[in-house]
Chain A
Amino acid sequence: AQSVTQPDIHITVSEGASLELRCNYSYGATPYLFWYVQSPGQGLQLLLKYFSGDTLVQGIKGFEAEFKRSQSSFNLRKPSVHWSDAAEYFCAVGASDTGNQFYFGTGTSLTVIP
């Protein structure tokens, strides 16, 4: 069965520091991979996605993620965090043979300190 693991429940970084949020997935074939961000009281906003091709994908707000098949990972990175990046981040995997539903991780809460 498909599953997504986000090992870090909560991360705190200083503004201007680099960020990496971890995501590991379980799926037999090449999945579709997504990162979403959720601010308090807001819906899920798509940051970036990977379907195929170049394994390093660029997203909005300066985020990028790298698909590593050998590690079943899709980690999210940002070189310099801004205070407005404080939010909950969700990794999700989808696949056409699962009814197109997405499987989400439990999320990583990001706190940014000045």
Chain B
Amino acid sequence: GAGVSQTPSNKVTEKGKYVELRCDPISGHTALYWYRQSLGQGPEFLIYFQGTGAADDSGLPNDRFFAVRPEGSVSTLKIQRTERGDSAVYLCASSPHGTDTQYFGPGTRLTVL
């Protein structure tokens, strides 16, 4: 079946702009996660959804970052007033339910100039 998909695969933006990154989880998976992977590092947790609600957003670095999952399926990660330090690969993962294996998408590479 189809895996986790993320769009766009690459996004180049200018400092101060607003961006949206989309994640389509595996059908039927109730849990959805966002991670950020900087060069040479492992993925770092940003936020976790169980259904439509954000069950844990403790990894969001500041209030410029926000994520939604209005219908419990597709999720959008939103970054306002982007900074050069936001440049990274943003990974999305989904899981059948909370305590299970996470399946990752290919990521969106964000470059802030």
Q: Which residues of A contact B (CB under 8 A)?
A: 4, 32, 34, 36, 41-46, 49, 90, 92, 94, 96, 99-107
| Residue in contact with A44 in the complex, picked from B48, B55, B104, CB distance below 8 Å | B104
User: Which segment, of B35-43, B63-71, B74-82, faces chain A?
Assistant: B35-43
- Chain A interface, DSSP helix/strand/loop, else mixed: strand
17 cross-chain CB contacts under 8 A: A32-B99, A34-B101, A43-B4, A43-B106, A44-B91, A90-B42, A92-B42, A96-B99, A99-B55, A100-B33, A100-B99, A101-B33, A102-B45, A102-B93, A104-B42, A106-B41, A107-B42
- Whether A44 lies near B99 (C-beta < 8 A) is no
**Closest Cβ–Cβ distance, residue A91 to chain B (whole Å):** 8
A42 to B42, CA, bound (A): 14
Tell whether, in the assembled complex, residue A46 and residue B95 are in contact, meaning their CB atoms are under 8 Å apart: no
> Which residues of B are found within 8 Å of A4, using beta-carbon distances?
42
B109 CB to closest chain A CB (Å) equals 9
B59 at the interface (CB under 8 A from A): yes
Quote the shortest CB–CB distance from A16 to chain B (angstroms): 29
User: How many chain B residues touch A (Cβ–Cβ < 8 Å)?
Assistant: 28
Using a CB–CB cutoff of 8 Å, the interface residues on chain B facing chain A are 3-4, 31, 33, 35, 40-45, 48, 55-56, 58-59, 91, 93, 95, 98-99, 101-107
Whole-angstrom CA separation of A23 from B52 in the bound complex: 34
Q: Is the CB of A105 within 8 A of B42?
A: yes
- Least CB distance, A52 to chain B, in whole angstroms: 12
Q: Nearest chain-B residue to A9 (Cβ)? A: B40
Chain A residues near B107 (CB, 8 Å)?
Answer: 43
Q: Across the interface, which residues of B come within 8 angstroms of A46, CB to CB?
A: 101, 103
CB-based contact A99/B58 at 8 Å: yes
For A90, the chain B residues whose CB sits under 8 A away are 42-43
